Amino acid sequence: MPVLLQNTPSICSFGAGSKRTKREMEGEDKCIDDQDLSRKWPQGFEFSWKFTESQGPLRNYGNGQTFNHARIEEILQVVFLKWSRVTGFKFKKAEDDKSPTLQITILKNQSKKYNLALREYAQAWRDDTTGFVELNNMDGSKDWTDVVIHNTLLHELGHILGLNHVCDTKAVMFFRLLNEVDYMELSPNDIQHFRRVMASSARETPVLKQPPLKLSK
């Protein structure tokens, strides 16, 4: 069974408009990567995942667009496939009557957990047996798009798998999600950091050598 990795949520911001940290402004040459988690999921572990919307669908409050349950599950499937290619992990949708080992939830207006000024809309953590990802559907958010949902989930799942923030601006695990235009792929930096955490379960052929996955329109 998995052992305790991290029970303190990693709260993440995204967007070029986010307030920059001193670490980022000093430049990558002076930046120090956060330490990755030293404990790991078992090799070849199969996650059973469940996506729930506790208070309605995710919404872009700028243009009124909502993202239905099926659409977000489609995005999740792409995210899972990208990580499984690198890690050897499997991701299977949990049966309705079973407890998942990966819980993705949309919460509404969690202003006590998040700072709207810093555009903090997501967090991830895990306990002994389960990984948790929360997306905050905060009133006033104009940021949610298919691309941002995809890139945010790709980043947050990295935390569940044992990775922390890095200084490489092209990496999925960078401190801020700067790319709100393109569907991101796992970078060599992301893959290298994962191999440090779980080298025995990482595959030799990185995802970058395979055709990029595209969401249906």
Q: How confident is the model at residue 193 (pLDDT cuts 50, 70, 90)?
A: confident
Tell me the CATH class for 6-18+30-196.
Answer: alpha beta
137 vs 79 pLDDT, higher one: 79
Sorted by where each begins, the domain ranges of the chain are 6-18+30-196
Report d(CA 62, CA 182) in Å as an integer.
Answer: 20
Q: Give the pLDDT confidence score for residue 203 in this predicted structure.
A: 44
Query: Does residue 162 register a pLDDT over 80?
Result: yes
pTM value? Answer: 0.79
Quote the pLDDT of residue 18.
46
Average pLDDT over residues 97-118: 72
pLDDT value at residue 183? 95
